[in-house]
Amino acid sequence: MFTHLDVSLTGGSDGMGLDLATPLGDYLHLRTGFSLMPYFEKTLSYPASMGDMISQERYDQLSGVFQQVTGCQLVDRVDMVARPTFANYKLLMDVYPFEKKNFYFSAGVYVGNSTIAKVSSTAEAVPTMMALNIFNRMIDCAIGEDGEGGGTFIEYGDFSLALNPEIEDKLYNLSIERTKEYVKDFDDLSFEEQTALLHQYGKYSVQLGNRVSDGSPYLLSPDEHGMITMEVKTNQYKPYFGLGYGGSLSRKSDSYRISFECGAMYWGDSPKIIMHDGTDIMHDVTNLNGKIGEYCDIARRFQVFPIVNLRLTHRFFL
């Protein structure tokens, strides 16, 4: 036991890392280490008109108004940037069933951060997202708390600004059109119920799918910072099983070794994808649309994360 110490540099699907290993007997080694996914960014883009969110004609109108008010030019697409935050500590037992100790089996656990990736809209998309928030704020004012309109758009000290009645009427009718796309029996409801639904469905937002709990539309708007963000989460503790093969780089000495290992890290369930409003679109939303739906379909299959590693080892205390 503890007759030598193996120090290894690793690289593979779980990132770059460092391993330490020592024998506990003739056929059993204890291995521990740390791996970190290198920083990189993956950009995902979609049109700013976003189909059902806002028509191209209305988007062009909104863009023109926003540029006059702020001097900022809206973009015709929204870029989302994904960044990995994948880091793990591992504690493994390597079993060498044969005398030559080339083949080995590994079992143990990876322990890491629960958030393995973060996705957010880029700074270039903020004016576009802010424009939608401003427009939705105008719609809220046009509806008013009691459904009678007349809400104050801007209020600061003695200064206040309300919407022009003609614009208010147009926005109110626009919110009714939007709401009726989601609520088929809208005209049969009471005025109070209609008002609540206008605030919920009458604004511009993306319908990503339907809520699993009651089948209602799941609508997403930018957050208070004009951003769309999400986090990909898994269990912190992930069992691991693998198979490897290695050997000395020189026939004359075991000081330097190289080995190749493949295995599986068990997440226990498909990852969670938490949007900035707290909704897990992987498990709480169904019928997901567009690219997000395609990515979620792929992620659902990854209840097991494949590990493929190359290890370069220097042996101390021969």
> What value does the mean pLDDT take over residues 40-44?
81
Compute and round to an integer the Cα radius of gyration of the chain. 28
- The DSSP call for residue 74 is P
> What value does the mean pLDDT take over residues 67-88?
77
Residue 148 pLDDT: 80
Q: To 10 degrees, what angle do helices 165-182 and 191-201 make?
A: 90
> Identity (one letter) of the amino acid at 142?
A
The answer to whether the CB of 310 falls within 8 A of the CB of 258 is yes
Distance from C-alpha of 52 to C-alpha of 220, rounded to nearest angstrom: 12
Residue 47 pLDDT: 57
Q: How many CB atoms lie within 10 A of CB 316?
A: 10
175-228: per-residue pLDDT in tens?
898 899 888 899 999 999 999 999 888 887 777 788 998 888 888 888 888 888
Q: Kindly report the average pLDDT of the chain as a whole number.
A: 85
Share above pLDDT 90 across residues of the chain, in percent, rounded to a whole number: 36
Residue 51 pLDDT: 44
219: which 2 tokens?
């609508």
Asked if the model's pLDDT at residue 52 lies above 60, the reply is no
HSE-CB of 104 using CA atoms within 13 angstroms: 24
Residue 123 pLDDT: 79
308: which 2 tokens?
């493929």
269: which 2 tokens?
């369930």
Query: Quick one: which H or E segment has residue 65?
Result: helix 56-70
Asked if the model's pLDDT at residue 309 lies above 90, the reply is yes
99-119: per-residue pLDDT in tens?
887 899 999 999 999 999 998
Contacts of residue 183, Cβ cutoff 8 Å, sequence gap at least 6: 189, 197, 201
Asked if the model's pLDDT at residue 125 lies above 80, the reply is no
Q: What percent of the chain is helix, strand and coil (3-state, nearest 5)?
A: 25, 40, 35
- More confident position, 186 or 78: 186
> What value does the mean pLDDT take over residues 147-166?
78
Contacts of residue 134, Cβ cutoff 8 Å, sequence gap at least 6: 66
Residue 254 CA to chain centroid, in angstroms? Answer: 44
Q: Which long-range contacts (CB under 8 A, 24 or more apart) does 48-53 make?
A: 48/74, 48/75, 48/76, 48/77, 48/78, 48/125, 48/128, 49/76, 50/78, 50/206, 51/290, 52/206, 52/207, 53/204, 53/205, 53/206
**Residue 33 — very low, low, confident or very high, per pLDDT cuts 50/70/90?**
very high
Share above pLDDT 70 across residues of the chain, in percent, rounded to a whole number: 89
Domain ranges in the chain are 1-37+86-114+234-268+304-318, 43-84+115-233+273-302
Distance from C-alpha of 299 to C-alpha of 55, rounded to nearest angstrom: 30
**What residue ranges in the chain does DSSP mark as E strands?**
5-12, 15-23, 28-36, 42-47, 77-84, 87-95, 103-112, 115-121, 152-156, 159-162, 206-211, 217-220, 229-233, 237-248, 256-266, 272-275, 285-286, 304-316
Three-state DSSP state, 37: coil
- More confident position, 233 or 144: 233
Architecture field, domain 1-37+86-114+234-268+304-318: Beta Barrel (2.40)
Residue 59 pLDDT: 65
Distance from C-alpha of 232 to C-alpha of 230, rounded to nearest angstrom: 7
The answer to whether the CB of 94 falls within 8 A of the CB of 21 is yes
- pTM of the prediction? 0.79
**Residue 50 — very low, low, confident or very high, per pLDDT cuts 50/70/90?**
very low
Residue keyed to tokens 């593979």: 12
Residue 93 pLDDT: 96
